[in-house]
Structure 1
Amino acid sequence: MAFFRPRVSREAEVRFHADQEISKSFPELLDKARMAERTLRELRAANADDIELRAAGVAFDKALTEALRAAEAGQRATFGVKAYDDRIARRKAKATPAGVMWTAEADRLRTLREDNRMWGIPRTPRAVPAAR
């Protein structure tokens, strides 16, 4: 006797496997972000000029964005393949310990990136046009 088991879409399976592959690089990307943050903090402590601080801030932003993408992929992969098609399955998976851990990590990285975008990247001064 065969039981009916609703399958998930092929697209959900493909996205699930892609997210699993992306999430494998999360530790390396997080280390890159930590190194970029360390560089930015060292430049701030050394009273570097705004051009160097801006370059370090932009590099930190890029590293955080890559780490955030990997964390979000890990979050989706942890939720399981059914969560790609079903919002209730996604919501249930978010309540598991692994789901809570990945959600907290993604939120932490998102907040850190937004804080860096607001305050960590100095704006370069622009020349004021002469009044006629």
Structure 2
Amino acid sequence: MAFFRPRVSREAEVRYHADLEVGRSFGALLGKAREAERELRAKQAAGASLEELREAGLVLDRALTEALRAAEAAQRATLGVKSYDDRIARRKGRATPEGAMWTAEVSRLRTLREAHRLTGIPRVPRASAVIR
């Protein structure tokens, strides 16, 4: 009796290899985000202008977004090539220690980025219109 083992789609293999490449840069991107946060905190402590704080906040937001994208790619690659086509394989992949670790990391980074977007980027007041 022969057993049928379905292959994964070519698209899933291509996405898997692309995610492997992007996921490898996670450590460097996370370091870049940490450095951007240090710069923002240093400017806050030094009493920098609102425009400088906003620019540093936006740099940190971009760095967090890049790190989050790399973590998501590493998570997908860790879950395995079958998980791109099959939701059950995705669930099984998340249940492994590596999958759970990447899922927690993605959740942590997403929460950090959203909290920063809500409270960490100063808003520059617009010039008000003259009311007559």
TM-score by length of 2: 0.97
> Corresponding residue for 1:63?
63
In structure 2, the residue matched to 1:50 is 50
- Report the Cα distance in structure 1 between the residues aligned to 2:2 and 2:48, rounded to whole angstroms: 70
Report runs of 4+ in structure 1 exceeding 4 Å deviation: none
- Per-residue CA deviations over 1:39-98 (Å, capped at 9, x if unaligned) read 001111111111000000000000000000000000000000000000011011111100
* Distance in structure 2 (CA, Å) of the matches to 1:95 and 1:57: 35
User: Could you list the runs of 5+ residues in structure 2 that have no partner in the other structure?
Assistant: none
Q: Which residue number in structure 2 is paired with residue 91 of structure 1?
A: 91
Cα RMSD (Å) of the superposition? 1.0
Amino acid at match of 2:108: R
Q: Within the alignment, does 1:80 sit opposite 2:89 as a pair?
A: no
Q: CA deviation at 1:2?
A: 5.2
Give the distance between the partners of 2:40 and 2:115, measured in 1 at CA: 14
**Percent same amino acid at aligned positions?**
70
- Partner AA of 2:50 in structure 1: D
Question: What residue is the counterpart of 2:111 in the other structure?
Answer: 111
Where structure 1 has 5 or more consecutive residues not aligned to the other structure, the ranges are none
Count of aligned positions: 132
SS of match in other structure, 1:5: coil
Query: Aligned partners of 1:110, 1:76: CA distance in 2, in Å?
Result: 16
Distance (whole Å) between structure 1 residues aligned to residue 118 and residue 43 of structure 2: 18
* One-letter identity of the residue aligned with 1:83: S
